[in-house]
Amino acid sequence: MAALQPVRGTHDLLPDAARAHRAVEARAFEVASRFGFGEIMTPIFEFTEVFKRTLGDTSDIVTKEMYTFEDRGGESLTLRPEGTAAIVRAFISGGLAQQVPVKAFYRGPMFRYERPQKGRQRQFHQVGIEILGVEGPAADIEVIACGAHILEALGLGGTVTVELNTLGDVESRAAYRETLVAYLQGRKGELSEDSLTRLEKNPLRILDSKDEGDRAVVAEAPILADSLNDASRDFFARVQEGLAALNVPIEISPRLVRGLDYYTHTAFEFTTTKLGAQGTVLAGGRYDGLVKQMGGPPTPGVGWAAGVERLAMLLADPPPAPRPLAVIPAGAEADTLALTVTDRLRRAGYAVDLGYSGNMGKRMKRANKIAARAAVILGPDEIAAGAATVRDLDSGDQEAVPFDALEGALDRFR
Ligand code: ATP
Ligand code: MG
């Protein structure tokens, strides 16, 4: 154990980074609220089965990435690698099926044992939304539009593309599966070992492989669009029409599939050219079979998750640190006055920094260092006059303000 180091792939968020991170979450939630989503908070660990059963035995997450452990009671638990399975578990165990449609927003840490690199961590954070209980394409349109609004609100409009595909309904997927397997059998020799396993269990997953040899094979594979039945084709057309009406620019990406087993119909990824290989910032799709597969009443679903770290890196206008007032007492007799003035100003809603020690010069230095907006100076002269010297630290202008008028007089420095 390397003591006193963060675990590989985990990061502390120091104040500047934490502020950007919280801003991403807050803006995402604000926009999602406008779309009618309400927050659901689930535990960060679940019974291992919750993820194992839903994500599928051949998914990267289940085969390589889960943090699974036995607790002291002998239960197998897993730190959540993603949010959808947990939300669906809550939907079922909380009896929310009576209240569909359910529109859930979630945020928080996710855990995956991956090879850490830029934009890829072992503890990372997501925000996500899910709509449960809506069969038609209106829900697909709404979740994608909500994602687009959020990225706009983060100042990323124009830098992202929405790649869109359809996996079709169960019948279309089955038809495609046959076509795909026939093709892949012919090029078996070029596939990675992982993909040979997938060929048996879940050949569609091969389309999502990151192995270069696999990718070359996939590039020439027959596409899903050619296996779609009329119903699936129509569903996809209606999703595209809705997005066109909302001016959400899309790019049809015939080979886009999502890495998890439970998707049907719509699949999409929002990508940016700004993050190199880790360019996907938001990804999701429709998962009509999932609730039933987890033991709930058959309920369609559609949603997405976005990586908060990746979005925070791209944030066009990271929020600046708030600029406090600095209360600066000079001389021992001013200390108690400084305490009470500070307290009153804080109660009036100001952010106030009270230096803990040092002479006036040292405290002024600190005020500048924390980018205080103004200094409220309390020295012997001020005490004698019953008025503080208030110095605007941007302009250098100063004025005398009676102690009992401070709350109102400092309004412009908020
Ligand atoms: P990838 O293909 O990059 O591995 P994924 O399919 O595993 O992505 P999802 O499960 O769809 O990703 O997660 C949605 C989003 O969460 C991603 O688009 C990304 O922004 C973010 N994300 C996923 N894994 C990580 C990670 N290990 N570190 C940081 N962000 C991540
Ligand atoms: Mg992954």
| Judgement on whether residues 262 and 400 belong to the same structural domain of the protein | no
Choose the final residue of a domain: 286, 314, 342.
314
| Judgement on whether residues 336 and 301 belong to the same structural domain of the protein | no
| Judgement on whether residues 246 and 392 belong to the same structural domain of the protein | no
**Best mutation site among 310, 313, 315 for ligand 1, i.e. most ligand atoms within 8 A of its Cβ?**
310
Residue 340 lies in a domain: yes
| Judgement on whether residues 304 and 341 belong to the same structural domain of the protein | no
Q: Is the CB of 81 under 6 A from ligand 1?
A: no
| Judgement on whether residues 342 and 238 belong to the same structural domain of the protein | no
- Ligand 1 atom closest to residue 278's alpha carbon, by position in its atom list: 3
| Judgement on whether residues 245 and 364 belong to the same structural domain of the protein | no
| CATH code, domain carrying 334 | 3.40.50.800
**Nearest listed ligand to the Cα of residue 208:** 1
| Judgement on whether residues 276 and 338 belong to the same structural domain of the protein | no
Name the nearest CA neighbour of 128 among 263, 19, 249, 37: 37
Residue 102 lies in a domain: yes
Residue 141 lies in a domain: yes
| Judgement on whether residues 348 and 292 belong to the same structural domain of the protein | no
Q: Is the CB of 208 under 6 A from ligand 1?
A: no
Residue 148 lies in a domain: yes
| Judgement on whether residues 160 and 39 belong to the same structural domain of the protein | yes
Predicted confidence at residue 377, as pLDDT, reads 96
| Judgement on whether residues 27 and 57 belong to the same structural domain of the protein | yes
Distances from the Cα of 204 to the Cαs of 165, 266, 273, 303, 352, in angstroms?
Answer: 13, 15, 26, 20, 58
Q: Is the CB of 120 under 6 A from ligand 1?
A: yes
Residue 175 lies in a domain: no
| Judgement on whether residues 282 and 359 belong to the same structural domain of the protein | no
Q: Is the peptide bond prior to 101 cis by the omega test (within 30 degrees of 0)?
A: yes
**Nearest listed ligand to the Cα of residue 85:** 1
Range of the domain at 45: 15-169+229-314
Residue 273 lies in a domain: yes
Residue 182 lies in a domain: no
pTM: 0.91
- Ligand 1 atom closest to residue 259's alpha carbon, by position in its atom list: 6
Predicted confidence at residue 381, as pLDDT, reads 94
Q: Is the CB of 84 under 6 A from ligand 1?
A: no
Report how far ligand 1's centroid is from the alpha carbon of 307 (Å): 6
Task: Quote the number of domains for the chain.
Answer: 2
Residue 186 lies in a domain: no
Predicted confidence at residue 1, as pLDDT, reads 61
Residue stretches of the chain with pLDDT short of 70:
1-2, 259-261
Report how far ligand 2's centroid is from the alpha carbon of 61 (Å): 7
**Nearest listed ligand to the Cα of residue 80:** 1
| Judgement on whether residues 96 and 22 belong to the same structural domain of the protein | yes
CA-proximal residue: ligand 1, atom 19 (nearest): 307
| CATH code, domain carrying 117 | 3.30.930.10
Choose the final residue of a domain: 260, 290, 314.
314
- Ligand 1 atom closest to residue 119's alpha carbon, by position in its atom list: 29
CA-proximal residue: ligand 1, atom 25 (nearest): 120
Report how far ligand 2's centroid is from the alpha carbon of 81 (Å): 10
Binding residues: 82-84, 112, 126, 130, 258, 262-263
